[in-house]
Amino acid sequence: MSANQEMAVRYKNNFLKEVEQQVEMGEWVKMCMQCGVCSGSCPTNFHPGWEHPPQEIFMMIRAGKREEVLSSPSMWMCTSCYNCIVRCPRKLPITHIMHGLAEYAYELGLAPKVQPTKNLSKLFWENATKTGRINELTFSLGMYFKDAEGKINIGQGIKKGLEMQKVALGLLKAKRLNLFEIFGGHKCKDQKGIHAMLAKAYALESKRKGRHVG
């Protein structure tokens, strides 16, 4: 049974309860009073990818629209500007709930296949946790040489690299970019310790949420 099927069975038709227990800050969803200030304050106004505004997502969760919510690209569009959190009359941590929903959808394998934010997040996480430090050079190269679906694309990489040539030279001059980083670059002293710590945190979190450690 996939993680998705397992959760669907465990929570039967109670998607709100599932969100409360599985999604970070999900326990706040029931506090929404549908005033609409979050949606009206969102700078992604009229962006075609922002299918359901936060207020609608909250209502869909309560209405049990599990597949529609978890496979939606909407929460991946959040730019973390925090306008909604600042203005929400009920003080819902809306930004965090959006990220929590995105994480949960990813964990269950329901996140949209082609999603730039998802690809960026994944790349960043893998890059940063490898050595405990973000490697700017390999990170940007990773961005340039991967297409929207996350596949290696040499032609696109060279084209993007040339486009950004001026910026890169400026960064080199200001010593913000180091070409020798390609050989591994700066890293934390105790890398094994960091990996162990992250694995332990993941195990604890999975246990707390009753998920199988994948």
Partner 1 sequence: MTDVVATNETILVVGGGISGMTAALEAAETGKQVVLLEKNPALGGRTAQLYRYFPKMCHPICGLEINLRRLKANPRVLVLTQAEVTGISGSAGDYTATVKLAPRYVNENCTACGACAEAVKTEVDNPFNYNLGKMKAAYIPSAMAYPQRYVLHPSIIGTPDAEAAKAACKYGAIDLEQKEESVEIKAGAVVWATGWQPYDAAKIQPYGYGRYKNVITSVEFERLADPHGPTGGKILRPSDGKEAKNVAFIQCAGSRDENHLRHCSRFCCMASLKQTHYVRENSPEDGKSTIYYIDIRAIDRFEDFYQKVRDDASVSFIKSKVARISEDDNGNPVCWGVNTEGYKRYSNAHDLVVLAVGMEPSVKGVAIPASIVADSSGFIEADPANGAIFGAGCATNALDVNRAVQSATAAALRAIQVVNKVARAEV
> Rule CB under 8 A: which residues touch partner 1?
33-37, 39-41, 45-46, 52-53, 55-56, 86-91
Q: Which residue lies nearer to partner 1 by CB, 7 or 94?
A: 94
How near is the Cβ of 46 to partner 1 at its closest, in Å? 6
DSSP structure string for 85-135: HHH-TT---HHHHHHHHHHHHHHTT-S-SS-HHHHHHHHHHHHHHHHSS--
Closest separation in Å from C-beta 161 to partner 1: 38
Q: 75, 66, 73: which is closest to 9 by C-alpha?
A: 66
Identity of the residue, 12 or 47, whose beta carbon is nearer to partner 1 in the bound complex: 47
**Which residue lies nearer to partner 1 by CB, 53 or 142?**
53
Shorter beta-carbon distance to partner 1: residue 56 or 107: 56
Smallest separation, CB 26 to partner 1 (Å): 19
How many H-runs (helices) and E-runs (strands) does the chain carry?
12, 0
Least Cβ distance, residue 127 to partner 1 (angstroms): 37
- CB under 8 A, 24+ apart: contacts of 138-141: 138/181, 138/182, 138/185, 140/164
